[in-house]
Amino acid sequence: MNSDDQDSTTSDAMAGALPTRRRAIKTFGGLAVAAFVPGAMRAAWGEQQGGSNPVFTLGVASGDPGSDRVVLWTRLAPDPLNGGGLNDRAARIDWEVAIDPAMTRTVRRGTTTSTARNGHAVSVHVTGLRPDSWYYYRFSHRGVQSRIGRTRTFPAAGVLPARMRFAFCSCQHYEQGYYAAYRDMATQDLDFVVHVGDYIYEYAASANVPAARRHQGGEIATLADYRNRYALYRLDRHLQDTHAAFPFIVTFDDHEVDNNYAGLIPEDEQTAEAFRQRRRNAYQVYRESMPLRANVQASGDGLNLYRRLPYGRLADILVLDTRQYRSDQPCDDGLQFLQTCPAILSPDATMLGATQEAWLFDQLRQSRATWNVLAQQVMMMRWDLGALTGQPLNYYNVDAWDGYQAQRDRILRFLAEQRVANPVVLTGDIHSAWAADLKADFNGASSPVIGAEFVCTSISSGFGDSNDPLVKATLPSNPHIRYFDGLLRGYSICTVTPGAWRTDFRAVQRVADPVFTVPSADLPVSDVAAFNLIAGQAGLTRVL
């Protein structure tokens, strides 16, 4: 593993790789005080409370919608940056779901219990809901109410909905920028949000960023560390607003645990047992912090995160896990020449592990959906940087699928041979915006296009402006890559109908890395590029 990637101001894949190459939160001794401030905390839908709510400081969230169900999330955390602030006693939390934003027509209600063992976070698995419908929800604890959240169920199985519209995003390094992208996303007309990883970063506090946007302490490893780090990110009002506005479908990448880890192999030299425990801590807090389906559960050292979410007959969303089961990156990670690193082509190298690969093929074989969506982490397209060397060499980023080519090629061949309908791969990780035609064989000029890949850029994590022209110099030798921009932070919106798919890249006003020169969440956000796909006709068309 590459252990010299300490520069958190450049992207995961590019760091050191290219050639030349408290907030003040009121602290309460206990929750008794909460009983004296009830009415003041009653909120209307959409009203942000943030740190002003003495108990629900981290807001509310929902996720993993089905046609009759959704998961609701919150956490009792009167002192969110210092372990939460509750004692070891279990706490009662009431919840309610209504069909109107004023919460007057309640359709479900119940009580759940938070425990110290789960950091006083709760996930409520609400069932018996109507398909394809908006709902509103809130929690209360000892007279204090949370803000009101909004969520939405998916269409029923067998129904072909007229439209699905969602945002997808990744990589929100807290120290590297404000969440203007989330400010914009929260106001969009969306059914849900897909987050493909790097929801937090595990790094120590940097000395070179404004104190208002700084991590706390050293690199995180314990349960308490991970809880405090998620709390720091969740205190951001724009992230809270977006969670309150839409259900999320999430998966993790590396930074939810440790930069560029692979399976149980860490980035740095730690003992195997130490990393095993650290990863277990990270997975537990991820499970606690996200609105995940009941069947996403820890088992042994792992967390079974990969899952399928069908959006009626319009789309099957297959959420992948490309970190937990992968073999080590070939040749110590980073950028590697194929000519000196034949392990890039090893048939034994695996990104998904054998079980997940078999599951993926089963799902794709059984799918009757118009669009088959793979929501995952690292770039699946071939990206050969050999042009930068001036020699006839193949040069790959081996943390991405280019380091696991045998398995990547099995998947692309499967999509072609099984004639899987309209595959679309959604990717994060690399902090830059890309669109590519996926081919069964990237080496064959006449090999047919079998699907498309979109890489949202990062919410806030930097790419390094100086890397932008270097990447552009590699594009002529990668003609299937149809779009790249390394200067943008933002996210993407996908508008999907039975006949067509459109991806819009939305970007925050161009800003300089490593830290926004205008450190503001008020920066304008606009459309910068868009691509269309026609159902049944592989190949991207640029429309903006």
Contact residues for Fe ion, defined by CB under 5 A: 12, 171, 198, 461
For helices 405-417 and 353-366, the axis angle rounded to 10 degrees is: 10
CB closer to Fe ion out of 171 and 292: 171
464-482 per-residue burial string, b: 16 or more CB within 10 A, e: under 16: beebbebbeebbeebebbb
Q: CB neighbours of 413 closer than 8 A, spacing ≥ 6? A: 440
d(CA 376, CA 327): 17
As measured in angstroms, the least distance from the Cβ of 249 to Fe ion is 18
As measured in angstroms, the least distance from the Cβ of 455 to Fe ion is 12
d(CA 210, CA 203): 16
d(CA 342, CA 448): 26
CB closer to Fe ion out of 429 and 437: 429
Residue 9 Cα distances to 12, 176, 190, angstroms: 9, 7, 31
The answer to whether residues 202 and 258 touch, using CB atoms and an 8 Å cutoff, is: yes
CB closer to Fe ion out of 432 and 461: 461
For helices 272-289 and 223-234, the axis angle rounded to 10 degrees is: 40
Which two tokens mark 350? Answer: 């695996």
Which two tokens mark 69? Answer: 């169900």
As measured in angstroms, the least distance from the Cβ of 461 to Fe ion is 5
As measured in angstroms, the least distance from the Cβ of 384 to Fe ion is 22
CB closer to Fe ion out of 5 and 12: 12
CB closer to Fe ion out of 198 and 437: 198
As measured in angstroms, the least distance from the Cβ of 286 to Fe ion is 15
User: Whose CA is closest to 11, among 454, 431, 436, 435?
Assistant: 431
CB closer to Fe ion out of 171 and 436: 171
CB closer to Fe ion out of 153 and 457: 457
As measured in angstroms, the least distance from the Cβ of 265 to Fe ion is 19
Q: Is 33 exposed, middle or buried (0-12, 13-18, 19+ CB in 10 A)?
A: middle
Rounded-to-10 torsion of CA 206, 211, 212, 213: -10
CB closer to Fe ion out of 228 and 461: 461
CB closer to Fe ion out of 12 and 402: 12
As measured in angstroms, the least distance from the Cβ of 423 to Fe ion is 24
As measured in angstroms, the least distance from the Cβ of 200 to Fe ion is 10
d(CA 493, CA 481): 19
As measured in angstroms, the least distance from the Cβ of 436 to Fe ion is 19
The answer to whether residues 459 and 489 touch, using CB atoms and an 8 Å cutoff, is: yes
Bridge-based pairing state of the strands 423-427 and 371-375: parallel
